[in-house]
């Protein structure tokens, strides 16, 4: 089979997880620990944003969050990227009609030594009306998903993963996907790694096509799966290749995933013509839309000789 390497079942790479490097923001941080009258402490901090230099932003933490987790949350790439988005060209604070008053950090989930998830509430007000904008944020950062299409004997198959998804209470059929583990922004490298971990095949970076790169520049070439509550921005990649039927049989039902990370995954192959109706995974439906439109516009190479 050309184009990628099929790895034996359960023989999957476990790449090292580099620690995130702190992103610097044009804000001055002044740590202030305010002790309450009880034995517990209330943590607070303030920052000054360049878009509202005369209006410091109060940052506080919910009871039970340690001072170290509080400091790590403020210094995390998740929080810094959110601040940067606020002041970007299309950001909420960019035109001066709104103001950020305070941020209340409600939860910090660590993935080893780095913050994986951050939950906070932001009080942003419209200056003219004084009304507060809904601002509960689940921050998890950038991610990738990969639409893998394998052609065999005249049929094109989409390679999906079947995974336990506790938040839904269901086992979900979905695209291979994953979060970026650091601040380097290596979206294509992350895509290749996730396919290796979740599917057990090793792709080449040069064979990956970024479908989100065809979007308008105003989008930042990313999609927001759930912008009403989550900051996650995702790149969707495409891989197409030709394989023998034996490869299709080997992949179907294959058990993969990093068991030490709680991943219990089965590989499922679905004929592409049936894909759009076989799963409720939004990543799948978005990838189908991007793929079909890119084909219609003639943006994809026709050659499948990988």
Res 244 pLDDT > 50: yes
Beta pairing partners, 117: 109
Instruction: Give pLDDT tens digits for 68-80.
Output: 999 999 999 999 9
Q: How far apart are CA 71 and CA 33, in angstroms?
A: 11
pLDDT mean over 242-259: 88
- pLDDT category, 24, cuts 50, 70, 90? very low
Tell me how many domains the chain contains. 2
- Ranking 18-27, 102-111, 146-155, 257-266 by mean pLDDT, the lowest is 18-27
- The answer to whether residues 154 and 291 belong to one domain is yes
Please check whether residues 129 and 154 belong to one and the same domain: no
The whole-model pTM stands at 0.83
- The residue among 96, 112, 139 that closes a domain is 139
Confidence at 183, pLDDT banded by 50, 70, 90:
low
Give pLDDT, residue 44. Answer: 95
Question: pLDDT digits over 100-111, tens only?
Answer: 999 999 999 998
* Phi, psi of 128, deg, nearest 5: -70, -45
Q: What is the mean pLDDT of the chain?
A: 86
37 domain residue, yes or no: no
> Is-contact 223 230, C-beta < 8 A?
no
Specify whether 86 is located in the same domain as 51: yes
- Domain carrying residue 77: 44-139
pLDDT of residue 38: 33
């Amino acid at each position: 089979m050309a184009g990628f390497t099929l790895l034996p079942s359960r023989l999957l790479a476990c790449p090292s997880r580099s620690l995130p490097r702190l992103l610097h923001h044009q804000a001055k941080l002044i740590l202030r620990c305010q002790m309450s009258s009880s034995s517990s402490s209330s943590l607070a901090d303030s920052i000054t944003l360049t878009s509202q230099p005369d209006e410091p932003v109060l940052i506080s933490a919910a009871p039970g969050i340690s001072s170290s987790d509080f400091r790590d949350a403020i210094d995390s790439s998740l929080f810094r990227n959110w601040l940067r988005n606020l002041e970007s060209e299309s950001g909420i604070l960019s035109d001066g009609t709104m103001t950020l008053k305070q941020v209340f950090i409600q939860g910090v989930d660590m993935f080893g030594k780095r913050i994986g998830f951050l939950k906070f509430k932001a009080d942003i007000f419209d200056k003219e009306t004084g009304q507060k904008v809904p601002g509960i944020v689940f921050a998890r950062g950038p991610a990738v998903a990969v639409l893998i299409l394998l052609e065999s004997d005249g049929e094109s198959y989409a390679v999906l993963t079947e995974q336990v998804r506790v938040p839904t209470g269901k086992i979900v059929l979905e695209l291979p996907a994953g979060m970026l583990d650091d601040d380097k922004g290596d979206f294509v490298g992350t895509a290749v790694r996730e396919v290796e971990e979740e599917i057990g095949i090793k792709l080449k970076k040069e064979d990956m096509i970024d479908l989100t790169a065809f979007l308008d520049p105003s989008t930042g070439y990313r999609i927001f799966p759930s912008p009403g509550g989550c900051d996650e921005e995702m790149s969707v990649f495409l891989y197409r290749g030709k394989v023998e039927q034996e490869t299709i049989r080997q992949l179907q039902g294959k058990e993969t995933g990093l068991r030490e990370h709680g991943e219990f995954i089965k590989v499922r192959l679905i004929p592409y013509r049936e894909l759009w109706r076989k799963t409720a995974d939004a990543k799948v439906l978005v990838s189908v839309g991007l793929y079909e439109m890119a084909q219609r516009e003639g943006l994809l190479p026709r050659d499948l000789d990988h």
